[in-house]
Structure 1
Amino acid sequence: MGLDAPTLKLVGHGQFKRVNPKSDLFKVIKFHHVDWWCSDATSTQRRFGWGLGMQLVAKSDLSTGNTTFASYVLKSNDLVFSFTAPYSPNIEKSKESKCPVPWYKSDQALQFIASHGLGVRAVGVLVEDAADAHEKATANGAVSRLEPVTLKDEESETEQVVSEVLLYGDVVLRFVSGSYQGPYLAGYTAVASEPLSYGLQRLDHAVGNVHDLEKAVNYIAKITGFHEFAEFTAEDVGTVDSGLNSMVLASNNEVVLLPINEPTFGTRRKSQIQTFLEQNEGPGLQHLALKTDNIFATMRELRQRSSQGGFDFMPRASDAYYENLPAKVGDALTAEEYRQVKELGLLVDKDDQGVLLQIFTQPLSDRPTVFLEIIQRIGCMYERPGGGSAVPPVLEQAGGCGGFGKGNFSELFKSIEDYERTLDIN
């Protein structure tokens, strides 16, 4: 995909035909991490660690000689979150700060927090070559936010290359590559801790909200080569009160999925996407979908901690929704699984390939902006070839199996509308 790439147009779910042209401009492997910016990294990482079942694996703060910011890294299997907060830039430094990332600027972080509150600053993606990714992205119109920087890990004598381009709003797409195999970025100090996981496996998709959907999608597709994976219009997913338009971009391997939403207008209530754009003071990352292989076990853990410093979830769907589920989903779930779906307040949908189980948290902080989605995908298994006798074939699940909950959007919107009625924002 180059400068003359075809323009992507919103046509609606019914008219959209999925095709994977393998058009990535550079090799993309998977999500690497998500970097959250906040005003208090210590308290924030403790809440996420307790509420989601993620263990502290690395840090950079005053105890490691970093007088610029405090940053803590949490991990659950292949899911990695970092929480970074600036120290006061006005405090006189007695010595040079041992800051592991030379591009960090406290004044920029303070402005980000003032504008957005708790939010995602960087979506990290593991690529084959971060310098090459940056070069090709900027050659195709990407706005550079960080020229390639080489970080060195003295203990392992390995290196890591990091670069960034603008994604949308104040969010950057961060490319990561190199020989360093640590839990996050080279230069952070590893932390020994007891293994902890409630079953969250990895980041499935990262969703952004923007003012102009087609403009944002075409920018991202042009700078990455990502192809369109799915799309939905207000007619597909809205209620009589509000709606949205959405398009999903995917890497060649369809492991990195980037849905983008825009608000629609002319309904009785303001679209929740418009509410986000107002409360976030512009485009930004709306939610992260965290994948588990056993949503029943994971949600029992998360529900148990909801009232103990964890996260609150959107209200359960109506009884009629659960009564109609077997007719919609069929025998993909057992009677016992249907019972647990209702008990835990999950939503269920399916496409022509698989089944999706999902549930959404309420907003994570003071503003009705960023939230989390917990999902499980069922079906779409295929055998990835191995590397001869030494590396046997591996059974894997195709990316995006079961879709993105199109059949649940109306029920979800009603839940969000009910929640927003409790807030003085419309």
Structure 2
Amino acid sequence: MAKLVGYANFKRSNPMTDRFDMRAFHHVEFLCGDAQTTAARWSYALGMPLVARSDLSTGNTRFASHVIGSGSIRFVFTAPTSSSDALDDAHPSVTTTPRAMREYVARHGLSAVAVAIHVEDAREAFERAVAGGAKPAMPPRTTPADGGCVVSEVLLHADGDALLRFVSGASADGATGFLPGYAPTGAALDETYGFVRLDHVVSNVAQLLPAVDYLIKAVGLHQFAEFTAEDVGTPFSGLNSMVLASNNESVLLPLNEPTTGSARKSQIQTYLEQHDGPGVQHIAIKTDDIFATAELCDELGILADRDDQGVLLQIFTKPIGDRATLFLEVIQRIGCDEGGAVEQKGGCGGFGKGNFHELFRAIEELETRAGINTAASPPRPSAGA
């Protein structure tokens, strides 16, 4: 089992242990109550145009799904428009029935239902992940047209309902806007605000080490970084965190757990309560010029940190929806580009202990003002204790 040793004692290495070929993040899908409205809000705020859709205008009477994008980023917003409990073969990438969508939104609110990874072979990825202990969610589904797109899914967390989705096939490269079953809008992906790709996707779980072991055994990810309450916490609350990475370190999946016995609830605990279980806490989107992206950088307070490989610049939004759960991060990594000859190395600049502490402190202050982090009773010990 993985073991926490703290930021100062952790030694980064890459044992190249992926169980199958993982290329990069492909998309993140969110379930919500109204896909068109939610997508329009995010499109306006992030400068990402609508690139594909599946709804009444395309003959889909079961659900509405709108895709916005910039660079290689694809955010998918889906809402049920029927109560059907059957899947639709015309949409292989949508593997949740409308009835299950309703139940998911009722439980979690606006939430990331699936983190999708572009893999060499989604069928092989599913088989090897399940053989490694992953809990299966959807066996491979294939669309013969458009290059034979294959989609499969396992649970992202063994005790949760979010999905780790595998996507492969010629039509999975986004050339037509998105996957089969979606109508492209023809919008240009000109990176209006400078967003180029997804950097990392962070989950909150009740117990860190079992969640880490689950993903390491199922997918083969390796430990990239870690932090404890002593590294990033405040005098009032804390967390433990591990960052997992693929061989090419382009797929970065950090996980956080709450620590206990403090004057206030850990913000990870308040997330678990607000979200009603484990799930995606925040998504980092990469820019090559955070100052141009944020513009009001002095007022917004861009955080800077570095490690032996490069510099890390970050800024975070407040919670996006009605619940104190999901938020976004804008990130720039400087260095590790080998003189600009090749694409920058994944994870360049690490994860910034100082930045992490400032984020934790800011969220703690927000939750204290909202009155949702009072430690009412002593919780059970954490997995990292």
Structure 1 equivalent of residue 29 of structure 2:
35
Partners of 1:297 and 1:375 lie apart in 2 by 12
Structure 1 equivalent of residue 124 of structure 2:
132
Partners of 1:72 and 1:49 lie apart in 2 by 10
Helix, strand or coil at the partner of 1:158: helix
Q: Deviations over 1:100-134 (max 9, x none)?
A: 23633011111110111001001010000000000
2:73 equivalent among 75, 79, 87: 79
1:375 partner letter? I
The equivalences for 1:241-260 within 5 A come to 241-260=236-255
Structure 1 equivalent of residue 143 of structure 2:
151
1:420 partner letter? E
The equivalences for 1:18-417 within 5 A come to 18-89=12-83, 99-101=90-92, 103-153=95-145, 157-168=146-157, 169-180=160-171, 181=173, 182-193=176-187, 195=189, 197-300=192-295, 341-382=297-338, 394-417=341-364
The answer to whether the Cα contact below 8 Å between 1:231 and 1:246 also exists between their aligned partners in 2 is: yes
**How much does 1:409 deviate?**
2.6
Equivalences, count: 366
2:365 partner letter? D
**How much does 1:256 deviate?**
0.3
Partners of 2:251 and 2:356 lie apart in 1 by 22
**How much does 1:421 deviate?**
2.1
Q: Deviations over 1:245-265 (max 9, x none)?
A: 000110000000000000011
Helix, strand or coil at the partner of 2:255: strand
Partners of 2:55 and 2:69 lie apart in 1 by 18
The answer to whether the Cα contact below 8 Å between 2:116 and 2:166 also exists between their aligned partners in 1 is: yes
Helix, strand or coil at the partner of 1:163: strand
| Identity, % of aligned positions | 56
The answer to whether the Cα contact below 8 Å between 2:233 and 2:361 also exists between their aligned partners in 1 is: no
**How much does 1:286 deviate?**
0.3
Q: Deviations over 1:71-123 (max 9, x none)?
A: 01111011111100000327xxxxx9785236330111111101110010010
The answer to whether the Cα contact below 8 Å between 2:39 and 2:77 also exists between their aligned partners in 1 is: yes
Partners of 2:59 and 2:313 lie apart in 1 by 44
TM-score, normalised relative to structure 1: 0.82
Partners of 1:138 and 1:195 lie apart in 2 by 35
Q: Deviations over 1:295-342 (max 9, x none)?
A: 011112xx6xxxxxxxxxxxxxxxxxxxxxxxxxxxxxxxxxxxxx53
The answer to whether the Cα contact below 8 Å between 2:208 and 2:241 also exists between their aligned partners in 1 is: yes
2:8 partner letter? G
Structure 2 equivalent of residue 337 of structure 1:
none
Q: Deviations over 1:153-204 (max 9, x none)?
A: 4xxx422000000012211110000111433211211112355521111100
Pick closer, same or farther for the CA change 1:70–1:192 going to 2, 3 Å.
Answer: same
Partners of 1:343 and 1:360 lie apart in 2 by 13
Pick closer, same or farther for the CA change 1:39–1:379 going to 2, 3 Å.
Answer: same
User: Structure 2: 5+ residue runs without aligned partners?
Assistant: 374-385
Partners of 2:41 and 2:287 lie apart in 1 by 19
Partners of 1:25 and 1:98 lie apart in 2 by 28
Helix, strand or coil at the partner of 1:242: coil
State which structure, 1 or 2, has the greater radius of gyration over its C-alpha atoms: 1
Question: Which is worse superposed, 398-407 or 100-109?
Answer: 100-109
Structure 2 equivalent of residue 15 of structure 1:
9
TM-score, normalised relative to structure 2: 0.91
The answer to whether the Cα contact below 8 Å between 1:202 and 1:291 also exists between their aligned partners in 2 is: yes
Structure 2 equivalent of residue 388 of structure 1:
none
